[in-house]
Amino acid sequence: MFSWLGKQGGGRERGGGGDVVQTVTGGLRDLYLRKLLPLEEHYRFHDFHSPALEEADFENKPMVLLVGQYSTGKTTFIRYLLEQDFPGMRIGPEPTTDSFIAVMYGDSEGSVPGNALVVDPKKPFRKLSRFGNAFLNRFMCSQLPNQVLKSISIIDSPGILSGEKQRISRGYDFCQVLQWFAERVDRIILLFDAHKLDISDEFSEAIKSFRGQDDKIRVVLNKADQVDTQQLMRVYGALMWSLGKVIDTPEVLRVYIGSFWAHPLRNTENRRLFEAEAQDLFKDIQSLPQKAAVRKLNDLIKRARLAKVHAYIISYLKKEMPSVFGKENKKKELISRLPEIYIQLQREYHISAGDFPEVKKMQEQLETCDFTKFHSLKPKLIESVDNMLANKIASLMSLIRQEESNMPTEMVHGGAFDGTMAGPFGHGYGEGAKEGADEDEWVVAKDKPAYDEIFYTLSPINGKISGINAKKEMVTSKLPNSVLGKIWKLADCDGDGMLDDEEFALAKHLIKVKLDGYELPGTLPSHLMPPSHRKPLQTAE
C-alpha cells in the first residue's frame, strides 16, 4: 500500500485506519521536498507568500480555527465541544481572550508559552516565530487529556474589536497571523452573535485574509435562542447581507444557527431547528479526520500552482531589467505595470487569473526587492512541479479514495459529540418514521379509526382496495408522484398491488410523516410493519 511513498517519505507502518494517512503523509512530504521546495527556494517564494513547510505541517492532526468579534462565544463554543475547562480559558461579556490559544491533546493538563512552543519540532508552529515577541507573548498552547482532542486541535483567536486604535495596539500583524493559520487549518469557523451582526473594519480585513480558503469557511450564528422566530429571520437576512459585502464568492456560505453552550434555551420555539443545525455542524467537524489526507493534498496543489505563478512573475521581472543603467526607474515602471504583466503571463502560459497573488500586496512587497538578484526562468524546475501535479498527485488521489473505502471511518468522539449519537436524546430519536420504535403498540393504531373511515369509503372488495382507489385518496396529499410511489411500495407489505385496512393506515401514516417534514425510510422499519403482516416468532420446541 503506497509502497513507493512510504519508503521515500519515511512513512511508519501502523495497523488500522492510520496506515493510509501515515503513508500518504510521508508521500506528500517527499513530493514537497523533492519537487516543490527547490522551486520555492529558487524564486524566494517564502519571502513573498508562505514559509517552507516542515514535517509537523504534514503530521499534525486536523485543526479548527475560531474567529469572531469579542463576546460572540468562541471560547464558550470550545468549552461546549470539550465539555471541560482548558488552561488559559477566560469567559465574559468583555473582550477576555487576548491571545491565540492552541487547544491540543496532552497526557497531562498544562500550558506552553509561545516562545517555547515555536521551538518545538513536534508542533506545527515553528514558522510563527517570524511575527516576533509581540505575537509570541500572546500565543500559547493549552494541553489536556480530552477525547475530542485525540482527533482534532482547536485554535482560539482573540476577540476582534472595532476601531483603528485596537488594531495598532496589538503590536503584530493580526491579519497576517490569521492568514498563516488559515493556510494550515482544516476548518475556519466564523462566529456571530445574534445581537452583534456588524462587521468591523478589522473583522472585514480578517475575513479578506482568508482569500483562497473559501472551501474551509463555515459560519455559526450563535446565541440564536435569545430572539424569537420573526427576529431570527431578520437577523439571518442581515447576516447574509453583511457577509455578501466582505466575502467575494458567488456561492452562499453555509450558516449554522443555534445556541452552542450547555445552558437552557431562552426561547424554545426553534428547538428542533437548533438541534438539526447542531447535528449538521457536528457531522462536518467529525468528518475532518477522514478528510485530512485529502485536505493536505489539496493545500499542496494550491501551493504548487501559486509557486509556479510566482516563478513566472519573478523570472519575467528579471528578464525585463536592464543590465547597466536605469535599473531603479525600470523597477518602478515594472511595479506599476504589474496588472498588465499578470494578463500577459496568463495568456502566454495559459494560467487562470485566480491563481495569481493579489496585485496590490505583491506591488508592496516588490518595492523593497532588488530585481537584479532575481533568477531567470529555469524550465526544469517548472517541469518537475508539472510532473508532480500531472502524475504523482493524481495517482495519489485515486489511491486515497480507494483505501478510504476499505478502512473504518475515522470520526471525532468524546465531549458534546457523544451526546448526539445514540439514546433518546440523539437527533431525530422518536420523530418521523422513528416514532414508536421503542413502544410495544403499533404506532399507527392510535390514528387507525380515522383512517378506517376513509378506507371503507373507497369500495373495498374482500377487505382490500385497489391501487386505483388508493391513488384517488393518496393524491389528495398533493405530494409528488415519486414520493407517493415510494409510500405505496413501503405500505404494500405483501406486494399484491392492493391495500388492506392496515396497509392503507400505514400509507396514510407515512404521508403524514412526509408532510410533517421528515424523510421516508429506505425500507420499512420493523416497528411500522402492520401486526397482521408480521412474521410470527419461532419458538423452540
Ordered by start, the domain boundaries in the chain are: 27-53+294-406, 63-287, 432-533
Beta bridge partners of 138: none
Mean pLDDT by 10 residues, the chain (541 residues): 36 41 73 94 94 89 92 89 88 66 95 94 92 93 95 92 59 90 94 84 87 90 92 91 81 88 86 90 91 88 95 95 88 95 95 92 94 94 93 79 68 79 63 85 94 94 94 94 95 94 96 91 93 69 43
Architecture of domain 432-533: Orthogonal Bundle (1.10)
> What strand order describes the sheet that includes 255-257?
110-113, 139-144, 100-105, 153-156, 63-68, 187-193, 217-222, 255-257
User: How many angstroms separate the Cα of 54 from the Cα of each of 112, 166, 307, 485?
Assistant: 20, 33, 17, 57
Task: Write the DSSP symbol of residue 425.
Answer: T
pLDDT score, position 428 = 64
Q: Provide DSSP, 176-218.
A: HHHHHHHHH-SEEEEEEETTB----HHHHHHHHTTTT-GGGEE
| Beta-carbon contacts of residue 503 (< 8 Å; ≥ 6 apart) | 491, 492, 493, 494, 530, 533
Question: E strand or H helix at 103, and its extent?
Answer: strand 100-105
pTM: 0.76
User: Grid coordinates standing for 108?
Assistant: 497531562
The CATH class for the domain spanning 27-53+294-406 reads: mainly alpha
Kindly state which CATH superfamily the domain 63-287 is placed in.
Answer: P-loop containing nucleotide triphosphate hydrolases (3.40.50.300)
Task: Write down the pLDDT at residue 7.
Answer: 36
Alpha carbon distance 370, 465 (integer Å): 88
- 143: CB partners within 8 A, 6+ apart: 87, 104, 105, 106, 108, 109, 110, 111, 112
From residue 320, how far is each of 267, 327, 359 by CA, in Å? 66, 10, 18
